[in-house]
Amino acid sequence: MKTPKINSIGKHWHLELYGCDVKKIEKTEFVQASLREAAHQSGATIVNENFHQFSPFGVSGVVVIEESHFTIHTWPEYGYAAVDFFTCGEGININKAVEVLKGKFETEEIEITYFDRGDLQKAKSKMKTPLSK
């Protein structure tokens, strides 16, 4: 079987998580551990993490992965979380990451929007000076 041609530089998923357990998305420790587990279960390689606890509640954070990043912003007062998965390459299983967050946050409904990021051929054609290794 012929390998399909990759036409984009990256892949970007936007997740809208509704009906999350308020207690689970209000504190940094649980949100951070959950996003880290989602990254691990997806096959991503974690490089760094940075999270911020808002007062009185809510969390924003990023798990930087070799393949790009996973981010989250929570609004416990609405039982809502916004999540982005941005990846490069073919080795990440986003379905596993989604299932981890759905289970951890006891989410009632998830809406997912997908985007290809960066037209690979256009980027190559517009590159002014190639990088050398």
Which residue numbers are catalytic?
A: 68, 73, 88
Q: Output DSSP code: residue 16.
A: E
Contacts for 127 with CB less than 8 Å, ≥ 6 apart: none
Q: What are phi and psi of 66, to 5 degrees?
A: -55, -30
**Which of these, 62, 80, 70, lies nearest to 17 by C-alpha position?**
80
Quote the CA–CA distance of 107 and 80 in Å, as a whole number. Answer: 9
DSSP letter string, 71-123: EEEEEGGGTEEEEEEEE-SS---HHHHHHHHHHHHT-SEEEEEEEEEEEHHHH
